[in-house]
A and B are shown apart, each in its own frame.
Chain A
Amino acid sequence: DIQMTQSPSSLSASVGDRVTITCRASQTISVYLNWYQQKPGKAPNLLIFGASSLQSGVPSKFSGSGFGTDFTLTISSLQPEDSATYYCQQSYRTPHTFGQGTKLKIK
């Protein structure tokens, strides 16, 4: 199975900041990397697919990049509603494994 490792596991940032979350795959996955946001008690929501394509309806403050094994999710101009857990997921090969999640807290 392809292992996905996110860093950091948690972070705290202020309103207006920009943050970057990293995801590393245990083997190359081309651009088959997706990012999800999950708020407490809710289902996850797709933010980015194909490493860098913004899902319809998702604000442009979210952006993704990367290829191969190393990927990043950047969130700019943080607002209180961005407080959530963020997951990466590889869809290159089944099982479609997720990273362990990054919990973002807004100070």
Chain B
Amino acid sequence: EVQLVESGGGLVQPGGSLRLSCAASGFTFSDHYMDWVRQAPGKGLEWVGRARNKGNRYTTEYAASVKGRFTVSREDSKNSVFLQMKSLKTEDTAVYYCVRVGPSGYDAFDSWGQGTMVTVAS
């Protein structure tokens, strides 16, 4: 069974930093792209960023709203993906989901973690 478990969320002041982790199990982690998606309270879904696999040279991509502030990384030996967030803004307040990009060839998110809440407030 595929499992994604996020951790690291919490309350942080504007301008602060936070690192989210996602531990994966139940599948060959190294084969898959891994993404982060967020959802502000009462709002819709927003794609945040991607970490590609070794075959695609571990390249990353980001939404414009977080580019230069957030960094996605992965450690295949630990079946984990991370989201380093810096210079946090109040508008970054959201539930952050770790998602697996499925093998369909259509880049669909076929598995989601339970989410971890990040609150940026003074």
Which residues of A pack against B, CB within 8 Å? Answer: 1, 31-32, 34, 36, 38, 43-46, 49-50, 53, 55, 87, 89, 91, 94-101
With an 8 Å Cβ cutoff, the count of chain B residues facing the other chain is 22
- Of the stretches B14-22, B79-87, B107-115, the one at the interface is B107-115
* A95 and B106 contact, CB distance less than 8 A: no
Tell me the smallest distance from the CB of A31 to a CB of chain B, in Å: 7
Which chain B residue shows the least CB distance to A34? B108
Interface check B63, CB cutoff 8 A: yes
Smallest beta-carbon distance A57→chain B, Å:
10
Expressed in whole angstroms, the minimum distance between the Cβ of A28 and any Cβ of chain B is 15
C-beta contact mask, B37-70 vs A, less than 8 Å → 1, else 0? 0000000111100100000000001011000000
A-B CB pair tally, cutoff 8 Å: 66
Q: Tell me whether chain B's interface is mostly helix, strand or loop, or mixed.
A: loop
B46 nearest in chain A by CB position: A98
- Interface presence of B28 (CB below 8 A): no
B29 contacts the other chain (Cβ, under 8 Å)?
no
Chain B residues contacting A99 (CB-CB under 8 Å) are 44
Q: Are A96 and B107 in contact (CB-based, < 8 A)?
A: yes
Q: Is the CB of A100 within 8 A of B44?
A: yes
Docked complex: B85-108 residues within 8 A CB-CB of A: 97, 102, 104-108
What is the CA–CA distance of A69 and B93 in the complex, to the nearest angstrom? 32
For the complex formed, measure the closest distance between the CB of B47 and the CB atoms of chain A, giving whole angstroms. 5
| CB pair A43 B112 closer than 8 Å | yes
* B35: A residues at CB distance < 8 A: 96
Question: Are B108 and A50 interface neighbours, CB within 8 A?
Answer: yes
> Are A91's CB and B107's CB within 8 A?
yes
